[in-house]
A and B are shown apart, each in its own frame.
Chain A
Amino acid sequence: MREKFFERFSWVSLVLNSFRIIVIILIVVGAFNTLQGGKYTTSQWVSLSVSGLAQGSIYALIALGYTLVYGILLMINFAHGEVFMAGAFTAVFVAEAFKESGFLDSSPLLAVTILILVAAVVSTVVAVILERVAYRPLRGAPRLVPLITAIGASFFLQYTFRGLYGSGFKSYPEVAAVQGTWHIAGNDIPIVQIVVFVAAILLMVALYWLVERTKVGKAMRAVSENKEVAALMGIDIDQIIVMTFAIGGALAGAAGVINGLYRPQGVSFTMGFFPGIKAFTAAVLGGIGNIPGAMLGGLFLGVFESIGPNLILEGLGIPAANQLKDAIAFTMLVLVLIFRPQGILGERLTEKKA
């Protein structure tokens, strides 16, 4: 009898289940207390959610780079945050020049589009070089090897860009056209958040179209399912892998400029770390390797990070909850890895053939 009991409820699952229940109780109690307290109005919640969506759409763009590469190579490109940095850091100089010449304010749409292109090109080049130099020689090596290389590459890129552009912090100039707010359904929404969200969504739609409808996209999906059979179709696997890194890089670069619109400060050689790891969290949350998953995961993380401190932590009586945003993201990563490593939309990782 006793042995049977232990077979069915192993200690590990007992501990995990208690943990899961405690987490759920904490979330429910915290949210209940906060809402009961009535400290925040509906429109405050709305504005927190909207800024969360804007931030989350940026995470989503970066997260797509992790997920695309994972989908094809079953590898986490931990230097992807630096790919993002490369574009964002380079474009800030162009942005400053645009600001000084008045181009940024006279034709903001064109100027920002050019900035996005510049950043996307730089990030794409960095991503493609990274693949060629750091990862391709290690294809077929045990999976830990490229992982360690990725971390090394990440430092290498940071210090390369520090060497190129210096170690000071820079800021994206203000774009006058996106300052101010729009009054929508009784709420004042900052225009910049709407612009950020729309721009990110447009890019995601473009990506989705590329993957679902174009020949290259179909080939990417074929390679992700079975490399050998894809080769038997005449698909050059290396070419598709390069393409995947390039697309992920372009999205990350674009995200760098969009991020600069939203959070102008803090552009430096280390700026890739937090967005990188948060986007990774978002990708895992949505189910790594799953494209809609990365988009949803990014949006969800952004919103959760934005309303979580006020909604849950405050209700639990935790002081200065707003400063715990980052902690929320990392707690979420840990929770997902423990309870649902395949993510929201992902299949079980163990089912996927290496």
Chain B
Amino acid sequence: MALLEVNDVHAYYGYIHALKGISLTVEKGEIVTLIGGNGAGKTTTLRTISGLLKPRHGSIIFEGEDIAQYRAHQLVAKGISMVPEGRGIFAKLTVLENLEMGAYLRKDKDGIAKDMKRVFELFPRLAERKNQVAGTMSGGEQQMLAIGRALMSRPRLLLMDEPSMGLAPVLVELIFDTIEEINKAGTTVLLVEQNAHMALQIAHRGYVLQTGEIVLSNTAKELQKDPTVQKAYLGIE
């Protein structure tokens, strides 16, 4: 049984038909990437899985249970966590308070302290700035915080929406290394990226999304070799 199974999901913004029957699966332990151009529906797909947007049709099965009707805050308890597009850190809260919010539903103080330590090991920069107001940090640091915060709920599925957006190449490298590390430690990742080049390097499998539909799916290795992918998303003529 797959960890996550999305079946024929349709989602709308008012009259805009943003997802036109998306189906995908994520196996336990995988990094799966969803690539596609601007406006393809990548963010909408993640919003639908995370419960921020209700699908109008289709099912979303997580660990054997249909979660399509749950709301976002309920899905955190079920083991799904998201790094939203544009980071979405709480700018007026401190770094520490942001991380505490990530652990909002947890009661195990010792476990929280342990995970907080782990986040600080992943991102030593955050440890240095833990009492700083998050809005005053650089974009890269904010992205680290957004990822660290999402880990604080101990998710079994981590949804990430363009974590490399707007970051300098060195930082992009660091973020992708960290995603691999998080995955190796046992967290399954569904990664949305416009940076298809990097995403396909760390992912096991990938889906290509175009105007609300999945047009291609394969292992990451095969997708890297695919001429249409090379042309459209990897900038190779």
For the complex, what is the distance from the CA of A228 to the CA of B75, rounded to whole Å?
13
- CB within 8 Å for A233 and B93 given contacts A228-B72, A228-B84: no
Is A229 touching B105 in the complex (CB atoms < 8 A)? no
Is B52 touching A215 in the complex (CB atoms < 8 A)? no
Residues of chain A contacted by B51 (CB below 8 angstroms): 231
A332 within 8 Å of B by Cβ? no
Is B76 touching A233 in the complex (CB atoms < 8 A)? yes
Please report the total number of A residues contacting B with Cβ < 8 Å: 17
Is B102 touching A233 in the complex (CB atoms < 8 A)? yes
Residues of chain B contacted by A235 (CB below 8 angstroms): 73, 101, 104
Interface residues of A in 207-241 (CB under 8 A from B): 215, 218-219, 221-222, 225-226, 228-237
Residues of chain B contacted by A234 (CB below 8 angstroms): 73, 76-77, 104-105, 153
Which residues from chain B sit less than 8 Å from chain A, CB to CB? 50-52, 71-73, 76-77, 81-82, 84, 88-93, 97, 100-102, 104-105, 149-150, 153
Residues of chain A contacted by B104 (CB below 8 angstroms): 215, 219, 233-235
For the complex, what is the distance from the CA of A233 to the CA of B103, rounded to whole Å?
7
Residues of chain A contacted by B100 (CB below 8 angstroms): 215, 218
For the complex, what is the distance from the CA of A225 to the CA of B93, rounded to whole Å?
9
Q: Please name the residue on chain A nearest to B50 by beta carbon.
A: A232
Least Cβ–Cβ distance between B160 and chain A, in angstroms = 12
Is B92 touching A221 in the complex (CB atoms < 8 A)? yes
For the complex, what is the distance from the CA of A237 to the CA of B101, rounded to whole Å?
13
Residues of chain A contacted by B90 (CB below 8 angstroms): 221-222, 225-226, 229
Q: Please name the residue on chain B nearest to A231 by beta carbon.
A: B72
Is B92 touching A232 in the complex (CB atoms < 8 A)? no
Least Cβ–Cβ distance between A291 and chain B, in angstroms = 12
Between A and B, 16 residue pairs with Cβ closer than 8 Å are A215-B100, A218-B93, A218-B100, A222-B93, A222-B101, A225-B91, A225-B92, A226-B90, A228-B72, A230-B101, A232-B52, A232-B76, A233-B102, A233-B149, A234-B104, A235-B101
Residues of chain A contacted by B91 (CB below 8 angstroms): 225
Residues of chain B contacted by A226 (CB below 8 angstroms): 88, 90
Set A218, A221, A232: member contacting B72, Cβ < 8 A: A232
Is A229 touching B77 in the complex (CB atoms < 8 A)? no
For the complex, what is the distance from the CA of A235 to the CA of B92, rounded to whole Å?
17
For the complex, what is the distance from the CA of A8 to the CA of B84, rounded to whole Å?
42
For the complex, what is the distance from the CA of A215 to the CA of B102, rounded to whole Å?
12
Is A233 touching B153 in the complex (CB atoms < 8 A)? yes
Q: CB-defined interface of A284-304 with B at 8 Å, one 1/0 digit per residue?
A: 000000000000000000000
For the complex, what is the distance from the CA of A218 to the CA of B98, rounded to whole Å?
9
Least Cβ–Cβ distance between A81 and chain B, in angstroms = 29
Is B76 touching A221 in the complex (CB atoms < 8 A)? no
Least Cβ–Cβ distance between B82 and chain A, in angstroms = 5
- CB within 8 Å for A229 and B73 given contacts A218-B97, A222-B93, A222-B101: no
Q: Please name the residue on chain B nearest to A237 by beta carbon.
A: B73
For the complex, what is the distance from the CA of A229 to the CA of B100, rounded to whole Å?
14
- CB within 8 Å for A231 and B93 given contacts A218-B100, A226-B88: no
For the complex, what is the distance from the CA of A237 to the CA of B97, rounded to whole Å?
18
Is B93 touching A221 in the complex (CB atoms < 8 A)? yes
Residues of chain B contacted by A229 (CB below 8 angstroms): 84, 88-90
Is A232 touching B93 in the complex (CB atoms < 8 A)? no
For the complex, what is the distance from the CA of A219 to the CA of B73, rounded to whole Å?
13
Residue of B51, B84, B104 with highest tally of chain A CB at under 10 A: B104
Q: Please name the residue on chain A nearest to B84 by beta carbon.
A: A229
For the complex, what is the distance from the CA of A229 to the CA of B93, rounded to whole Å?
13
Least Cβ–Cβ distance between A222 and chain B, in angstroms = 5
Residues of chain B contacted by A237 (CB below 8 angstroms): 73
